[in-house]
Amino acid sequence: MGTVSRDDREGSQKHLSTVRRLAYRLASDLPFLAKILSALVDNTMKKGNPLGISKDRLSAWSKGLGPSISSETVLYTGCEYQLIPYILPLVERLKGIGAFESGGGLANITFGLRRLGIDLIGSFASLRAKEGEYYNELVKKHFLLIRKVNDDITYLPDELYPGAILYDFGFFEDFTEQAKKVTRLLKEKGVRTVITISPHSLEMFRAVYPSYVDGFDVDVLHYTEVLLKYESKLRFSADEPTSVTLHDPCHLARTMNIFEEPRAILNSIKSVEFREVPYANKRWTTCCGAPIETLLPIISESIGCKRIKELEGSGASIALTLCPFCLANLKKAASTLNSQLKVMDFVELLSWCVK
Amino acid sequence: MKATFEEYHRRLMKALHNEKIALAIGRASESYRKNMSTVLSKYPHTVALAEEVRLIKERSVERWEELLKEAMDNIADNKGQAYFVRTAEEARKLIGELVGRDKVVVKSKSITGEEIDLRHYLQILGNEVWETDLGELMLQLLDEEPMHILSPAIHVPKEEVAKLFSNVMKKEVQPNIQDEVLAAREFLRGNYVRAQVGISGANIVASDTGAVFILENEGNARLTTGFPETHIVLVGIEKLVPTVSDAFKVAEVTWRYAQYTVPSYMSMIGGPSKTGDIEKVITYGAQGPKNYYVVFLDNNRSEMAKDPILKEALYCLRCGGCMYECPVFSLVGGKFGYKYFIGYGAAWVLYIAGLGWAAPIAYTCLRCGRCTERCPVKIDTCKIVLRIRNMFTNKMLIGK
């Protein structure tokens, strides 16, 4: 569902002239939208990721693991968990521009953007060290957990962002370029299998790359698939009885059809009681709001709050999810609502419970 | 038609701050889901029928020109008059001529009518025009735009309805839904009798006979299409299907996904009213309308049909189910759109209003895909939205 293949695109080209004609009915509109998108995309193309963060910072999670071994199987982080601490203050500041969401004049917006959209780095001054550490730890937890079942796994210190944002925002040409770079990197390193931890990287590698990059022939797995496959090697048990629910990420459950795997793992954990969210679960899960956090931050947050209320309906004390963006948006919403529900990454629970 | 992100955004934010919208849609969604699970468990064959309907729609959109010609010929054979118009402006002009001036016009709910802004146009010509769908009537009196395709006034609570009706009808109407419905009924009765022209949309047109199908629950479309001397149908070319039996399949899936076991009414209209009861001489204009016109509208639908991805939006049955599943719609209702709503609607908006409106809508969509999960014909919103975003970025890059 939801992916545009190259054949579709070629068919579309034929029709593009009519569409262009329609497009040109508009001369000078939407400068604001264009600027926000440009900033995110230019960074990806020039610096390898949407916020232009250095490789050192993105690979800081692997500190203490020692040099990466040589292996055909890698954990590919997709840089996504590591970017969250930088996205959070950016969104806060975008929300701060009154003009953005409350309908002020165009001049205000342009001014606000000069301050923010282009000068993104300014936003990072407010980056909280603790948050950076938390998200880095999450990546490390994934790695250590997978290593328990497969000690042949390695990581790439000079990983590149797979380009989900380019694809999602409609920059297909830039995306193709980025996808080729990533594919080259994987080839150079002799990678045969990638294990992904974010639904977006999984979707890119498994569902999108094959129709954009010729000869992309890497096996793509989600880490829950790996854990389930080697279930017999793992024993999970909680130290005290805990009730949990699951927020299925849209791109994991609906797009990639992975929702039974995390449930099967949860059901194998001693002392953990799993409670399903009424109605809005599995393929009927509700979006956390994150996809529009940079363009429409206030609506994004409202959607997150609505989702927290749905998750509360499960009666569980912890809500788990398996996507860095869902995690961040739901954490923010839970704190806005002063919810009793604790939002955690799936891997946090597993790390606690693994024996 | 030009819009900026700013203007769209202002509408969105205004709706977000109107808590009544989220409350009303939240309640509606909950009961929609309950009703859907009841009707689907009672009529489980609907799911497979919906798959068949998807194929019917795919093939029909593919050969719309052929189906249109056949339908128009059949309508003429039935002593109706069929027209094909290319643009919204042509449609307004033609219908304006068919109606004339200083007439009383009753109208049943039509999204296509909204698309071309028909009511306002006819009013400017000096006609007295009344919406007869209760929700549409409320919006007409409030001078607001629809919030949902099936329940256009979903955001107006009964207290406001009472105030509104008391003002307009010049009598005290209690904030009690039964009383309000009765007041609207009494108010509209007189208009049906006075009206010379009735205007309706259509859910389906069967080419083999030229028969037009209209689904409804209130009974207003029956009166609108049956009482006045002239009936005008305005319908998009995407509503054409080959046969009457196809039409019944489309109809059943449409009402089922609109959460009904069966609607109160389905009208099938083949032509003007007629009788042969006196000496077997067929005479037109019996009890129903004497003049019957069907106006087929293109308004860039034929362009949409050429796009390998966006053409899916033409398969939409207008059941409205997707809207109850959309997280953005649940907060801002129809402001997430422009005449056509939510993510897939951006394809419609592109062709009727241009990229200036369509792009912000495409970038508002979460691409979460739950609408597609609900959609009986599985319109792939995620793909549609990506396609429109890509058009926008192409335009951005050209602009560099």
Interface contact flag, A30 B372, Cβ < 8 Å: no
Q: What is the 3-state secondary structure (H, E, C) of chain B?
A: CCCCHHHHHHHHHHHHCCHHHHHHHHHHHHHHHHHHHHHHHHCCCHHHHHHHHHHHHHHHHHCHHHHHHHHHHHHHHCCCEEEEECCHHHHHHHHHHHHCCCCEEEECCCHHHHHCCHHHHHHHCCCEEEECCHHHHHHHHHCCCCCCCCCCCCCCCHHHHHHHHHHHHCCCCCCCHHHHHHHHHHHHHHHHHHCCEEEECCCEEECCCCEEEEEECCCHHHHHHHCCCEEEEEEEHHHEECCHHHHHHHHHHHHHHCCCCCCCEEEEECCCCEECCCCCCCEECCCCCCEEEEEEECCCHHHHCCCCCHHHHHHCCCCCHHHHHCCCHHHHHHHCEECEEHHHHHHHHHHHHCHHHHHHHHHHCCCCCHHHHHCCCCCCHHHHHHHHHHHHHHHHHHHC
pLDDT band, very low/low/confident/very high, at A48 (cuts 50, 70, 90): confident
d(CA A318, CA A311): 9
Using alpha carbons only, give the angle B124, B125, B131 rounded to the nearest 5 degrees: 70
Residue with tokens 């259509």: B202
The verdict on a CB contact (< 8 Å) between B6 and A26 is: no
Confidence of residue A103 (pLDDT cuts 50, 70, 90): very low
- In this predicted structure, what is the pLDDT of residue A52? 81
Q: Round to whole Å and give the CA distance between B188 and B193.
A: 9
Query: Cβ B366–A286 below 8 Å, yes or no?
Result: no
ipTM of the complex: 0.92
Task: Please report the pLDDT score of residue A110 as a whole number.
Answer: 37
Instruction: Output A26 or B316, whichever has higher pLDDT.
Output: B316
**pLDDT surpassing 80 at residue A123:** no
Contacts (Cβ under 8 Å, ≥6 apart) of B358 = B346, B347, B349, B350, B388
What pLDDT sits at residue A120? 46
Residue A51 has pLDDT above 90, yes or no: no
Phi, psi at A259, each rounded to 5° = -145, -20
**A217: which DSSP letter?**
-
Separation between Cα atoms, residue A206 and residue A220, nearest integer Å: 6
Q: Which of A4, A168, A285 sits opposite B387 (nearest CB)?
A: A4
Which positions in chain B touch A168 (Cβ < 8 Å)?
367, 386, 389
Distance CA B378, CA B376 (A): 6
- Provide the pLDDT for residue A30: 59
Q: How confident is the model at residue A104 (pLDDT cuts 50, 70, 90)?
A: very low
> Average pLDDT in the A222-228 region?
97
B356: which chain A residues are within 8 Å (Cβ-Cβ)? 25-26, 29-30
pLDDT grade for A122, boundaries at 50, 70 and 90: very low
Strands B211-216 and B265-269, by their bridges, are antiparallel
Residue A102 has pLDDT above 60, yes or no: no
Whole-number average pLDDT of chain A: 84
Beta-carbon separation of B327 and A306 below 8 A: yes
Q: How confident is the model at residue A18 (pLDDT cuts 50, 70, 90)?
A: very low
Instruction: Collect all residues of chain B within an 8 Å Cβ-Cβ radius of residue A25.
Output: 1-2, 354-356
Q: How confident is the model at residue A31 (pLDDT cuts 50, 70, 90)?
A: low
Low pLDDT (below 50) residues in chain B? 1-2, 399-400
Pairing mode of beta strands A219-222, A193-196: parallel
More confident call, A22 vs B8: B8
Q: Label the pairing between strands B340-341 and B230-236.
A: unpaired
For chain A, give the percent of residues with pLDDT over 70: 81
Q: Are B370 and A284 in contact (CB < 8 Å)? A: yes
Look at residue A183 and tell me whether its pLDDT is greater than 60. yes
> From A250, which residue of chain B is nearest by alpha-carbon distance?
B368
- Nearest chain B residue to A13 by CA distance is B307
- CB contact under 8 Å between B13 and A101, yes or no, is yes
Residues of chain B with C-beta less than 8 angstroms from the C-beta of A106: 4, 6
Chain B residue numbers touching A167 (CB-CB < 8 A): 386
Residue tagged 């550490």 (tokens):
A133
* Residues on chain B touching A22 (C-beta within 8 angstroms): 300, 303, 350-351, 354-355
How many other CB atoms are found less than 10 A from the CB of residue B274? 17
Which letter does DSSP use for residue A236 in this model? B
User: Tokens in use for B348?
Assistant: 């419609």
Give A43's pLDDT tier (boundaries 50, 70, 90): confident
Helix (H) or strand (E) holding A154: strand A153-155
